[in-house]
Chains A and B, each alone.
Chain A
Amino acid sequence: MARLTAWARLGRARWGRRARGVARRWRSSLQLQVLTSTLAIGLVALAVIGAYVSERTSAGLFEDRLGQVLEESARSTQQVQDQLSASPASTSPEVALLLEDVTTAQRNGGSGERDVFLLRAPGQNTSISVGATATDRSLVALVSRDLKQAVADGGQHWQSVAIPTADGRTQPGIVVGQQVDVPMAGTYQMFFLYSLQAEQERLDFLLGTLALAAVAVVALLGAMTWSVTRRTVDPVRRAAHVAERLADGHLSERMAVHGRDEMATLARTFNEMAESLQDQIHRMEELSTLQRRFVSDVSHELRTPLTTIRMAGELIHGARDDFEPSVKRSAELLATQLDRFEDLLADLLEISRFDAGAAVLDAEGRDLRDIVVQAVDNAVPLAVRRGSWLRVDLPDTRADADVDPRRVERILRNLLVNGVEHADGSPVEVTVGVDASAVAVTVRDHGVGMTAQEAEHVFDRFWRADPARARTTGGTGLGLAISLEDAHLHGGTLEAWGRPGHGACFRLTLPRRAGIRLTGSPLPLQPEPEALPAVDAGPRRSTDPVALPELPPMTGEIAIVSNPTDPVRTDVRLDDAGVPADVRGAL
């Protein structure tokens, strides 16, 4: 039983699948849709027409025959009445014989063979009583009581009946009855039974022919629809195929043009579109190549004179002690501004390389923690100058990802410089996170912060949070823009969060392997609400800004103690440059 239900379920499932498959095919084929709808409409129309025609025909045939039958039986009845009235029969056997004769004679009296019954009307009380006569006694039962009653009330009456045949089937028929007076024996009812088999056969034949015609019409309709839709849909299919090829980058793919009809126009227009598309793309490619060449040429053309100026400047700068004070100061300004000019030029060239799409990712498998440690290491001198802590929180597990270390280092450098610059002496926290698909670094400062609108613009080129504020570390204004491009080149994201008075947070998220689409990040961008100090609390200062400038310029080294339960465990340890132990605590 269970197995049976299982089979039934299986069958249902299979049927369901097949039905869904057919439905899918139907939805995906315009030709099939047009064909089925045309056929459906045609079939309905034919059915309605067929029903109407057969109804009208059968009614007409029946009415004709009925009229004929009624007229004929009335005539025959009159004839029988005349015959009976003229008969001299007076005894019961004579009357019986007479009735027998009359009945038999009337059998073939009409337009065709008919059965004749002569039945005694109910309620007779005469001296001579003769039973009923009939040409076929087995059919007498077809005369219903209702008909007999109606006939007894006088006049001619008829009724449709089904005549059983020898082979067990029935034929349509009509029984017509009327009263006759039999001498000596009283009133009798005379019934004629006509078969409508001939009419039925004519009707059947007609309907058969009609049905055949209908089938032919449906088949023809189907074939016509199929061929018409084929002629319409095929070019569309070809166009779709060619469009697909074009989309795949086969720009020289074209449609074949035949004749001058609408389809040819479609093909021609399509080809023109493809042509213009190809032209446009070629032009864009040329432009891009031109742009790249331009960048390369500008690079060369600008750098060569800059090199000369730079060398001359250095030479003059080197000899500045021989000059009078104003010339000496000029030489110094020249040297520092040349540095700035050089940085700006380098950044400009870098960003135009991104714009030209000429930037190439030189990826290799690296542990992000190493890159972060290196970058933080390099940022130590600046942090020391600005009096900021650098805290690093690394996960215990490796943070391996395919990255371009040069670009990631550059991003981190920019984020760290930016963070330290805006920290106002507050700690800068660097956190590394990793999950199955991505690695992430956040750089969080607790400085002046920024508004949400400002956070949207920090990656804009040459954007400044406060135009009135002077740039102190002399950034080019392109650092974060380049960082964003670097992140995008990895398929990663670089986002900023900030709140006035609560500092800012920058988050870099990179996919661990090429092709991974980022959906989230292992680290939150926005700090937990409770982690934010009360609104009125100003930026914290964890170091004494007065004590720090006395530290010697140094190259620092960072010892990282990683402990998930206590994220703030990292000291900045300085090398043998002579940093006292008590200062080490403050760093």
Chain B
Amino acid sequence: MKGRVLVVDDDTALAEMIGIVLRSEGFEPVFCEDGDEALGVFRATQPDLVLLDLMLPGKDGTEVCRQIRAESGVPIVMLTAKSDTVDVVLGLESGADDYISKPFKPKELVARVRARLRRSDEPAPEHLAIGDLTIDVPGHRVERAGRPISLTPLEFDLLVALARKPWQVFTREVLLERVWGYRHAADTRLVNVHVQRLRSKIETDPERPEIVVTVRGVGYKAGGGST
């Protein structure tokens, strides 16, 4: 399945180049150069994925990210020139699913885009339970006592990955591979930030998580309440 990709970047040369690469891979790129217009273009074009530069004229990239996330769970991949921890974590916390550091190779970009769009390619009839949550995998729904909880596709994938093997402890590297589709170990901060975000949505008390439990020095596992 090929999708529509919204590229929000003020550098027209880079945006055009990204467009050429995406088009050559069969995607349909849509462009926006200004942070203020980004939300409008997003609503108008309904893309399957957003490539978002963090430094934009008008509204800041993290702000745009927050606005889009507020009304949609569509995958957002940040393009960042800054590899500083603070910038990356800020972007991830504002709702981005993944990030690519400039300069990146075309293959890298396509791989990331594919990885984020891949999920909808493989529907499998499956019902899972973790803690007091029930997960309808093909229906992409999570419920607690009949009340639905809204998760982004990435958060959903993360939860499903943990819930499928509740006896297993997942290292951050393994989660990166399963959920984000990285072949090689990359930035494990991605996992930390998203686990925090997921907990804030599904845990009754995010300070004392019971569904996604940290195993010190190893990684994460599904909570013990999954019987």
With A311-B21, A315-B20 already in contact, the answer to whether A303 and B107 are too (CB < 8 A) is no
List residues 178-214 of chain B with CB under 8 A from any CB of chain A: none
The chain A residue sitting closest to B187, CB to CB, is A406
Write out, one digit per residue, whether chain B residues 86-111 have a CB within 8 A of any chain A CB (1) or not (0). 00000000000000001111110100
A503 to B: closest C-beta gap in Å: 32
Write out, one digit per residue, whether chain B residues 16-56 have a CB within 8 A of any chain A CB (1) or not (0). 01101100100000000000000000000000000000010
**B81 interface residue per 8 A CB criterion:** yes
**A312 interface residue per 8 A CB criterion:** yes
**B85 interface residue per 8 A CB criterion:** yes
- Residues of A with C-beta under 8 A to B71: none
Q: How many residues of A contact B (CB 8 A)?
A: 19
Task: Give Cα distance in the complex from A353 to B84, angstroms.
Answer: 10
A289 to B: closest C-beta gap in Å: 14
With A303-B81, A315-B20 already in contact, the answer to whether A308 and B106 are too (CB < 8 A) is no
**A300 interface residue per 8 A CB criterion:** yes
**B13 interface residue per 8 A CB criterion:** yes
List residues 106-139 of chain B with CB under 8 A from any CB of chain A: 106-107, 109
With A300-B82, A315-B21 already in contact, the answer to whether A307 and B107 are too (CB < 8 A) is no
- Residues of B with C-beta under 8 A to A307: 14, 17, 102-104
**A495 interface residue per 8 A CB criterion:** no
With A304-B11, A304-B14, A311-B21 already in contact, the answer to whether A362 and B85 are too (CB < 8 A) is yes
Write out, one digit per residue, whether chain A residues 515-544 have a CB within 8 A of any chain B CB (1) or not (0). 000000000000000000000000000000
A420 to B: closest C-beta gap in Å: 22
B224 to A: closest C-beta gap in Å: 26
Q: Is the CB of A314 within 8 A of B13?
A: no
Main secondary structure of the interface of A (DSSP, over half): helix
List residues 135-170 of chain A with CB under 8 A from any CB of chain B: none
Q: Is the CB of B17 within 8 A of A308?
A: yes
Q: Is the CB of B105 within 8 A of A314?
A: yes
The chain A residue sitting closest to B11, CB to CB, is A304
A163 to B: closest C-beta gap in Å: 105
Write out, one digit per residue, whether chain A residues 302-320 have a CB within 8 A of any chain B CB (1) or not (0). 0111111011101100000
The chain A residue sitting closest to B21, CB to CB, is A311
The chain B residue sitting closest to A292, CB to CB, is B84
**A224 interface residue per 8 A CB criterion:** no
- Residues of B with C-beta under 8 A to A360: 85
B52 to A: closest C-beta gap in Å: 14
With A299-B82, A300-B55 already in contact, the answer to whether A306 and B102 are too (CB < 8 A) is yes
- Residues of A with C-beta under 8 A to B81: 299-300, 303-304
- Residues of B with C-beta under 8 A to A300: 55, 81-82, 102
The chain A residue sitting closest to B109, CB to CB, is A311
- Residues of A with C-beta under 8 A to B102: 300, 303-304, 306-307
- Residues of A with C-beta under 8 A to B17: 307-308, 311-312
Q: Which of A303, A314, A360 has the most CB of B within 10 A?
A: A303
With A300-B81, A315-B20, A315-B21 already in contact, the answer to whether A310 and B14 are too (CB < 8 A) is no
- Residues of A with C-beta under 8 A to B109: 311
Q: Is the CB of B11 within 8 A of A314?
A: no
Q: Which of A300, A306, A342 has the most CB of B within 10 A?
A: A300
Task: Give Cα distance in the complex from A322 to B157, angstroms.
Answer: 42
Task: Give Cα distance in the complex from A315 to B16, angstroms.
Answer: 13
- Residues of B with C-beta under 8 A to A342: 103
**A197 interface residue per 8 A CB criterion:** no
A133 to B: closest C-beta gap in Å: 123
Task: Give Cα distance in the complex from A303 to B55, angstroms.
Answer: 12
Task: Give Cα distance in the complex from A152 to B185, angstroms.
Answer: 132
The chain A residue sitting closest to B12, CB to CB, is A308
**A79 interface residue per 8 A CB criterion:** no
With A296-B84, A304-B81 already in contact, the answer to whether A314 and B107 are too (CB < 8 A) is yes
Task: Give Cα distance in the complex from A364 to B85, angstroms.
Answer: 16
Which of the residues B18, B82, B83, B106 comes within 8 Å of A314, measured between beta carbons? B106
Task: Give Cα distance in the complex from A310 to B108, angstroms.
Answer: 12
B100 to A: closest C-beta gap in Å: 9
Q: Which of A303, A307, A310, A312 has the most CB of B within 10 A?
A: A307
Task: Give Cα distance in the complex from A305 to B16, angstroms.
Answer: 12
Q: Is the CB of B85 within 8 A of A311?
A: no
B109 to A: closest C-beta gap in Å: 8
List residues 295-344 of chain A with CB under 8 A from any CB of chain B: 296, 299-300, 303-308, 310-312, 314-315, 342
Task: Give Cα distance in the complex from A312 to B13, angstroms.
Answer: 10
Q: Which of A300, A311, A314, A353 has the most CB of B within 10 A?
A: A311
The chain B residue sitting closest to A312, CB to CB, is B17
Q: Which of B13, B20, B81, B82 has the most CB of A within 10 A?
A: B81
Q: Which of B104, B107, B109 has the most CB of A within 10 A?
A: B104
- Residues of B with C-beta under 8 A to A308: 11, 13-14, 17
Q: Is the CB of A310 within 8 A of B82?
A: no
Q: Is the CB of A305 within 8 A of B82?
A: no
With A296-B82, A360-B85, A362-B85 already in contact, the answer to whether A303 and B103 are too (CB < 8 A) is yes
- Residues of B with C-beta under 8 A to A306: 102-103
Task: Give Cα distance in the complex from A22 to B45, angstroms.
Answer: 87
The chain A residue sitting closest to B189, CB to CB, is A362
The chain B residue sitting closest to A374, CB to CB, is B185
Task: Give Cα distance in the complex from A360 to B88, angstroms.
Answer: 14
A565 to B: closest C-beta gap in Å: 32
- Residues of B with C-beta under 8 A to A304: 11, 14, 81, 102
- Residues of A with C-beta under 8 A to B85: 360, 362
Task: Give Cα distance in the complex from A311 to B85, angstroms.
Answer: 25
- Residues of B with C-beta under 8 A to A362: 85
- Residues of B with C-beta under 8 A to A315: 20-21, 24, 106
Task: Give Cα distance in the complex from A341 to B103, angstroms.
Answer: 11
A356 to B: closest C-beta gap in Å: 11
Write out, one digit per residue, whether chain A residues 347-388 have a CB within 8 A of any chain B CB (1) or not (0). 000000100001010100000000000000000000000000
- Residues of A with C-beta under 8 A to B14: 304-305, 307-308, 311
Q: Which of B83, B102, B107, B109 has the most CB of A within 10 A?
A: B102
The chain A residue sitting closest to B14, CB to CB, is A308
Which of the residues B13, B83, B84 comes within 8 Å of A305, measured between beta carbons? B13
- Residues of B with C-beta under 8 A to A358: 84
Task: Give Cα distance in the complex from A342 to B103, angstroms.
Answer: 8
The chain B residue sitting closest to A300, CB to CB, is B81
With A299-B82, A362-B85 already in contact, the answer to whether A310 and B13 are too (CB < 8 A) is no
A22 to B: closest C-beta gap in Å: 57
List residues 54-91 of chain B with CB under 8 A from any CB of chain A: 55, 81-85
A196 to B: closest C-beta gap in Å: 101
Which of the residues B20, B24, B55, B103 comes within 8 Å of A310, measured between beta carbons? B103
What are the 9 closest A-B residue pairs judged by CB atoms, nearest first? A300-B81, A303-B102, A307-B103, A303-B81, A307-B102, A306-B103, A308-B14, A311-B17, A310-B103
Question: Can you list 7 pairs linking A and B with CB atoms under 8 Å apart?
Answer: A300-B55, A308-B11, A308-B13, A308-B14, A308-B17, A311-B17, A315-B21
Known: A296-B84, A307-B102. 11 other contacts (CB 8 A): A299-B81, A300-B55, A304-B102, A306-B102, A307-B104, A311-B14, A312-B17, A314-B105, A315-B21, A315-B106, A362-B85
